[in-house]
Amino acid sequence: MTFDYAKMTKSRLMGSMGLIIKYEKKEDNIYQYFLLDGEGLGIADYVSLKNPTTKEAIREEERLMGGLGESRILVKEEVALFLINHFGKKNIKYGKDLPGDVEEYIDIIENFESKLTLDEVYPIICKKIESGVEFINYMTMRFIARDRESLKYFSDSEEISNNHITKINGALLKNKVTDRGNGVYISEALYEDEDGYYTCKIAFNISKNKDDFKIESLLVTDKEPMYDFEVFDEISKSEYIDVYKLNRKEEFLQEFYYDNPFMLKSDMEEGVFFTRFNFNNDHVKQDVYVINNDIKSIYYQVGDEFFIGTYSEKDRKYINKLLLAKYKDYLNVEDSYFFEENVLYDFVESGSDDFEDFLN
């Protein structure tokens, strides 16, 4: 096969990256789509397409990359193969099954050799950090996720990279960053671990050389457990919910997902749930980071109803106007609600198929 190009997202700091490689083999065009997980899983997803139409190739690219929130860049073949080899070896090391048709890429994992180093590749796969607050949010996220690889690169310290507070690859739910001056920052982190929710404080001492940030030291204090309802109060936000009566359900769902391949689709017990993420990760730049602030809207089909959850009046008006214009043959306005906290996702998780009954 002849290499044509490779494309990837600069999203390593968020944990996952999308990678696409296109090859030509005689008259065939072959596309390989990899989801690379930097938090221990290695290669998390793999799909290949042979001679897809342009629209099919774009749809698969959006399915893979549309929710990752970072720019997409072309990379050299050596970089692409290095990443497949590097992340594939994580699967083997941690006993995780390799996804998809493994025979299509196992040779890269077993036999590819390169003089490239991870330190040389990291600036390619990470976005350029613009401020100290953004850097602290990302490093807090990487610390909670036990991402030794990232901590090592951004500190040049084995001691810092081996430091941890979580039992597993934890999830940072909320973080408040305070700049104390002279390179000292305090993170007040709320996170999920294997056995529940916790808060802690992390003191970072960082330096900046030209445009590059580094961790000089970190210290963790004040770890405390937190109840579920307290966590909900911390990360919840006001929500608009619009409800539509749905005609020709299966036809609508097929068309809706075809038109929006960048949405995360989840098959639930009672229906189908879609999440539409923002196309950037600007929420990480804020001094108060909240995990769900990268969600633009959510959608839920249950029975013959279609629910839309949005988080600002502007988004609500735009998204609902667009949906009614595009899917007017399927949707009829039924009801609208406003809540001071998140409700729709709780309804989805409840397994109920009656929204009014759920509210009562």
Q: 98 and 144, same structural domain? A: no
Q: 282 and 187, same structural domain? A: no
Angle between helices 118-125 and 77-93 (to 10 degrees): 110
On the CB side of 193, CA atoms within 13 Å amount to 21
Q: How many domains does the chain have?
A: 3
pLDDT < 70 stretches in the chain? none
Using the 3D structure, point to which of 124, 143, 171 is the last residue of a domain.
124
Q: Do residues 7 and 19 touch, judged by C-beta distance below 8 A?
A: yes
**pLDDT number for residue 41:** 81
Please give the residue range of the domain that contains residue 258: 236-359
List, for residues 40-57, the tens digit of each pLDDT value: 789 999 999 999 999 999
Q: Do residues 292 and 276 touch, judged by C-beta distance below 8 A?
A: no
List, for residues 203-238, the tens digit of each pLDDT value: 999 999 988 999 999 999 999 999 999 999 999 999
Domain harbouring 149, CATH code: 3.10.450
Q: Could you tell me the pTM of the whole model?
A: 0.93
Q: 113 and 29, same structural domain? A: yes
Which is nearest to 305 in space by CA: 342, 273, 275?
Answer: 273
**pLDDT number for residue 269:** 87
Q: What is the dihedral of CA 164, 82, 12, 214, to 10 degrees?
A: 60
Q: 202 and 246, same structural domain? A: no
Q: What is the dihedral of CA 37, 137, 183, 130, to 10 degrees?
A: 80
Using the 3D structure, point to which of 124, 158, 185 is the last residue of a domain.
124
Using the 3D structure, point to which of 204, 232, 260 is the last residue of a domain.
232
**pLDDT number for residue 40:** 74
d(CA 337, CA 139): 38
List, for residues 73-101, the tens digit of each pLDDT value: 999 999 999 999 999 999 999 999 999 99
Q: 242 and 211, same structural domain? A: no
Alpha helices, DSSP H, located in the chain: 54-65, 77-93, 106-111, 118-125, 132-144, 148-153, 158-162, 228-235, 249-259, 313-326, 344-350, 355-359
